[in-house]
Chains A and B, each alone.
Chain A
């Protein structure tokens, strides 16, 4: 049985070390070729006509004038008459021409008639009762509510209020009865108003069934202290520096070659096949480097399909569509907004009892789901209400850490407000309730203590100021987070050639995750050869498939499949050379470019000599993750992390500056310390960016994004970065958990930590991120009123 386990720490030559990123030299020298840099012979440039309205129906499109323009090689209608546009900037038609300027001119020659429809782009206001959908319930909805444990009286109320979509048959009712639904509910269903079909309208707001855990009402009644507040985070853009886009060309009538900027090399062909009416096997996707994805580059997107269609119409000539910056910010994805009114109660000693949230949000037509609140802390008694909003802000896409950063803002800020009300140091308050974090509580305890000492928390923390503040004031705050990070499915081919060269092929991608570096480290460590001697090929569907880089799944996935392939290849090589060393294969080891007998290192062959014994045929092994037939599981899931922030707030101007940030993070077995740390530094920096600056600002009247450029869609810059301290948890009990990705976790907590630090500095909560000067000043202004309303505060 091959031994795939990760080597013990003393046997690791590379794993866990600070190895420089292998593709850094290409990147710093400008030699790395990104999709945007790819040149293809006879290339045509595509531009997309975008709808100026946030919500509209396309009545007609006339492309004749564009088609006739000199230099225009193809025009393609992306959304034809009858299509409904759901956000401003959505793709309507595309043109391919000999140069960009001609394509732009042609776009302007296309005539489209729209019927404007009402739009909704502002979602920060809580939905009013009249906004709430009166949508009849289907059997599925009722089942879902039952699954979620919605209490009978609530269920009955909703059925009576909303009605049902169709008469529920006695058979269905019997079924419900057998699963234990009580008579009152069944009667309510029987007696419910049945909506005539066609009357169902699509509303912007839809209230989810209420979720209840424990007995929140009683628990609030028993609480000594209750804090109430409003929290949230706006929709933000991904703003990848390399915009979305691709170059498509038909190498013959049935075969497509696509260069695409993507975080999902292996997943693109399958998504292009149906719309292009061509087998996925005939689509080759290639990418060497990608300038950022952050959750927004998993699909080919409509403009990617359009590029392929244009190429087909242009006789197969390569067609490039790379989004302009404004389009990148408007249409290439948005992190859903999330807002909540939260009430949270505790006993005098700080013991958390009850949570009630009414939350709402989203960033697109798909409505979206409630962020995982309350986050990390499983508060015993909960009442969760969520209203999904369909709006016209843009397409919602996961943004580094999915919904976790919003959940952290809502939860950790509400808890922080409660701690302030209890006049407790939030550190003590969190520690008091740590048991509610479940199995990770010891990790959190250890991390919080380390973070506190790195931040010098005890000497910096002061209770919220009581009276008005002025001038520059300081505060500290923190937040904790979790994350998955289990390795995704990944296949890896590893070949050892008779000349001693080693080759690895995986259709993965390196989006800044250090994918290349990790694969080479694992293979080199396992084979005992230098990393430089291995030729690594990634980023092409010619190679074995590997998952998309999202959810922090890449390090676990590729390291596990590489380890398995390398162990199998090494063992096969041992089997071939054992006799030459007069030993059994199990007695051999490969170290420092040699194959030698473990117990008698004097008996050895150089790597080259050993490989020459392969004869003419190379060894090839495929490693797979997951592989349940051959344990162990090399990857794990579930990390804990803590972020602490110290900020400075100018109470006169409302400007917030981060002064110091501390991140303490665990990620199981660390493959490359340097890269893991970079991930944390990057997370802190992106966190400062969305905490203080980033927001898709939408114009109510036109429905357009007002800041689709890098001047007003502000990213944190060099000047905004304070002292950053990163500490990674390592050693035995962390290593044992296997490899876990941490691309996402470090970015989750900074928003909440910074918000808490600002509240600590100025004595009042600024409800929504980003914490822009206007929001800070508004909060300061409302402070006096707030104090009047809540004399206990």
Chain B
């Protein structure tokens, strides 16, 4: 599977590539996207080689989208979406959500502003800090760097999905046990990133953990607690 998502595609980022714009541009990072769409100022959003093209076959852009017109871009006739709001549908934490959103709205803003799922935080809003980390089709994604329009038809999981009724998920419990949150603003992002690490390998090595969490920053300095929490989880997880 290719690297569809901006950032964090395969958790292989390390400190040296942290925060950098993904080199693999098969995915559409928002910065890239805005750069291009910004060239024509308030012109309709191009959905050409960016969306329909590179993500062809991924049915990211749902069929139901209202597509006003087409445009010739890079030698191809491609549909144009927006600039006004479009009806969109999402599967978030196993539930269906609908909203009318402009194509430029990010997944993060959709989650927070439309669906009141405020666990994912807006900190840098440009793919540098990890506070907005969510899972899209079981892979970590910076929700600030993925357009909502692209997240349609995918399984989106946010930190809010982890608790079962009032019981904390084992990862969350481990965070509590090891005091892995202080102000707590980075915490939801870390919890989700930890889940991705453990989903991939229930007994992660120290290196797996470091690599998997290197895209998230904490200002209060809770890395030690998180490390301890992960160590405990790695011990108790069944392989």
Tell me whether A29 and B119 are in contact (CB under 8 A): yes
B203 on the interface (CB 8 Å rule)? Answer: no
Tell me whether B224 and A681 are in contact (CB under 8 A): yes
Docked Cα-Cα span, A54 to B128, in Å, equals 26
Please report the number of residue pairs spanning A and B whose Cβ atoms sit closer than 8 angstroms.
Answer: 172
Give per-residue flags for B122-136: 1 if the beta carbon is below 8 A from chain A beta carbons, else 0: 111110110100000
B12 on the interface (CB 8 Å rule)? Answer: no
B46 on the interface (CB 8 Å rule)? Answer: no
B107 on the interface (CB 8 Å rule)? Answer: no
Residues in B with CB closer than 8 Å to A710 are: 19, 123-124, 128-129, 217
Give per-residue flags for A253-269: 1 if the beta carbon is below 8 A from chain B beta carbons, else 0: 00000000000000000
A632 on the interface (CB 8 Å rule)? Answer: no
Docked Cα-Cα span, A31 to B220, in Å, equals 19
- Among B131, B162, B181, B220, max chain A CB count under 10 A is at B220
- Please give the distance in Å from A743's CB to the nearest CB on chain B: 10
Tell me whether A24 and B179 are in contact (CB under 8 A): yes
- Among B116, B118, B160, B179, max chain A CB count under 10 A is at B179
Residues in B with CB closer than 8 Å to A72 are: none
Choice from B19, B123, B172, B227 contacting A28 with Cβ under 8 Å: B172
B187 on the interface (CB 8 Å rule)? Answer: yes
Tell me whether A25 and B223 are in contact (CB under 8 A): no
Choice from B104, B181, B185, B210 contacting A718 with Cβ under 8 Å: B210
Residues in B with CB closer than 8 Å to A21 are: 176, 179, 181
Tell me whether B175 and A718 are in contact (CB under 8 A): no
Docked Cα-Cα span, A290 to B121, in Å, equals 12
Residues in B with CB closer than 8 Å to A576 are: none
Docked Cα-Cα span, A372 to B177, in Å, equals 39
Tell me whether B221 and A30 are in contact (CB under 8 A): no
Contact count band on A: 35 or more
Tell me whether A290 and B176 are in contact (CB under 8 A): no
Tell me whether A711 and B214 are in contact (CB under 8 A): no
A200 on the interface (CB 8 Å rule)? Answer: no
Tell me whether A717 and B217 are in contact (CB under 8 A): yes
Docked Cα-Cα span, A29 to B168, in Å, equals 8
Tell me whether A29 and B162 are in contact (CB under 8 A): yes
B76 on the interface (CB 8 Å rule)? Answer: no
Tell me whether B185 and A686 are in contact (CB under 8 A): no
Residues in A with CB closer than 8 Å to B160 are: 29-31
Choice from A25, A29, A31, A721 contacting B227 with Cβ under 8 Å: A721
Tell me whether A30 and B219 are in contact (CB under 8 A): no
Stretch at the interface among A124-132, A239-247, A309-317: A239-247
Give per-residue flags for B147-185: 1 if the beta carbon is below 8 A from chain A beta carbons, else 0: 000000000001110110000100110011101111111
Residues in B with CB closer than 8 Å to A685 are: 218, 221-224
Tell me whether B116 and A241 are in contact (CB under 8 A): no
Tell me whether B219 and A241 are in contact (CB under 8 A): yes
Choice from B117, B125, B214, B222 contacting A325 with Cβ under 8 Å: B125
A30-B159, A37-B118, A242-B183 are contacts. A709–B124 as well, Cβ < 8 Å? yes
Tell me whether A325 and B168 are in contact (CB under 8 A): no
Docked Cα-Cα span, A677 to B228, in Å, equals 13
B140 on the interface (CB 8 Å rule)? Answer: no
Docked Cα-Cα span, A101 to B106, in Å, equals 12
Tell me whether B168 and A25 are in contact (CB under 8 A): yes
A685-B224, A709-B126 are contacts. A28–B185 as well, Cβ < 8 Å? no
Tell me whether A512 and B120 are in contact (CB under 8 A): no
Tell me whether A30 and B129 are in contact (CB under 8 A): no
Tell me whether B225 and A30 are in contact (CB under 8 A): no
- Please give the distance in Å from B179's CB to the nearest CB on chain A: 5
Choice from A28, A240, A709 contacting B176 with Cβ under 8 Å: A28
Docked Cα-Cα span, A289 to B184, in Å, equals 9
B14 on the interface (CB 8 Å rule)? Answer: yes
B47 on the interface (CB 8 Å rule)? Answer: no
Tell me whether A29 and B172 are in contact (CB under 8 A): yes
Residues in A with CB closer than 8 Å to B123 are: 241-243, 325, 710
Choice from B122, B214, B220 contacting A512 with Cβ under 8 Å: B220
Tell me whether B183 and A718 are in contact (CB under 8 A): no
- Among A34, A511, A686, A710, max chain B CB count under 10 A is at A710
B188 on the interface (CB 8 Å rule)? Answer: yes
Tell me whether B119 and A31 are in contact (CB under 8 A): yes
A678 on the interface (CB 8 Å rule)? Answer: yes
Tell me whether B182 and A709 are in contact (CB under 8 A): no
A768 on the interface (CB 8 Å rule)? Answer: no
- Among B123, B182, B225, max chain A CB count under 10 A is at B182
- Please give the distance in Å from B61's CB to the nearest CB on chain A: 21
For A242, the closest partner residue in chain B by CB is B185
- Among B158, B187, B209, B223, max chain A CB count under 10 A is at B223
Choice from A29, A34, A36, A677 contacting B163 with Cβ under 8 Å: A29
Residues in B with CB closer than 8 Å to A686 are: 219-221
B15 on the interface (CB 8 Å rule)? Answer: yes
Residues in A with CB closer than 8 Å to B163 are: 29
Tell me whether A241 and B181 are in contact (CB under 8 A): no
A302 on the interface (CB 8 Å rule)? Answer: no
A29-B168, A241-B131, A686-B221 are contacts. A717–B214 as well, Cβ < 8 Å? yes
Tell me whether B20 and A27 are in contact (CB under 8 A): no
Beta-carbon contacts under 8 Å, A214-270 to B = 239-243
Tell me whether A711 and B181 are in contact (CB under 8 A): no
- Please give the distance in Å from B43's CB to the nearest CB on chain A: 15
Docked Cα-Cα span, A33 to B131, in Å, equals 15
Tell me whether A29 and B121 are in contact (CB under 8 A): no
Tell me whether B183 and A325 are in contact (CB under 8 A): no
A162 on the interface (CB 8 Å rule)? Answer: no
Tell me whether A718 and B225 are in contact (CB under 8 A): no
- Among A291, A716, A720, max chain B CB count under 10 A is at A291
Residues in A with CB closer than 8 Å to B214 are: 717-719
Docked Cα-Cα span, A34 to B119, in Å, equals 10
Residues in B with CB closer than 8 Å to A674 are: 179
- Among A30, A32, A292, A325, max chain B CB count under 10 A is at A30
For B168, the closest partner residue in chain A by CB is A25
B226 on the interface (CB 8 Å rule)? Answer: yes
Choice from B20, B185, B227 contacting A711 with Cβ under 8 Å: B20
Tell me whether A27 and B129 are in contact (CB under 8 A): no
B216 on the interface (CB 8 Å rule)? Answer: yes
Give per-residue flags for B199-217: 1 if the beta carbon is below 8 A from chain A beta carbons, else 0: 0000000000110011011
Residues in B with CB closer than 8 Å to A239 are: 219
Residues in B with CB closer than 8 Å to A638 are: none
Residues in A with CB closer than 8 Å to B179 are: 20-21, 24, 674-675, 677-678
Docked Cα-Cα span, A716 to B162, in Å, equals 28
Choice from B158, B175, B180, B184 contacting A291 with Cβ under 8 Å: B184
Give per-residue flags for A278-290: 1 if the beta carbon is below 8 A from chain B beta carbons, else 0: 0000000000011
Residues in A with CB closer than 8 Å to B181 are: 21, 24, 27-28
Residues in A with CB closer than 8 Å to B217 are: 241, 710, 715, 717
Tell me whether B15 and A720 are in contact (CB under 8 A): yes
Docked Cα-Cα span, A221 to B104, in Å, equals 71
Choice from A30, A682, A717 contacting B118 with Cβ under 8 Å: A30
Tell me whether A294 and B219 are in contact (CB under 8 A): yes
Tell me whether A709 and B128 are in contact (CB under 8 A): yes
Tell me whether A291 and B176 are in contact (CB under 8 A): no
A736 on the interface (CB 8 Å rule)? Answer: no
Listed from nearest, the 10 A-B pairs whose CB atoms lie closest are: A30-B119, A291-B185, A685-B221, A27-B184, A512-B182, A682-B221, A37-B118, A30-B159, A711-B19, A512-B183
Given contacts A29-B172, A243-B123, A721-B224, 16 further A-B pairs with CB under 8 A are A21-B179, A21-B181, A24-B175, A27-B181, A28-B172, A30-B118, A30-B160, A30-B188, A101-B104, A241-B123, A681-B221, A709-B124, A710-B128, A711-B128, A718-B223, A720-B15
5 contacts between A and B (CB under 8 A): A27-B188, A36-B121, A294-B219, A678-B222, A721-B223
A residues in contact (CB < 8 Å) with B: 20-21, 23-34, 36-37, 39, 101, 239-243, 289-292, 294, 324-325, 511-512, 674-675, 677-678, 681-686, 689, 709-711, 715-721, 724
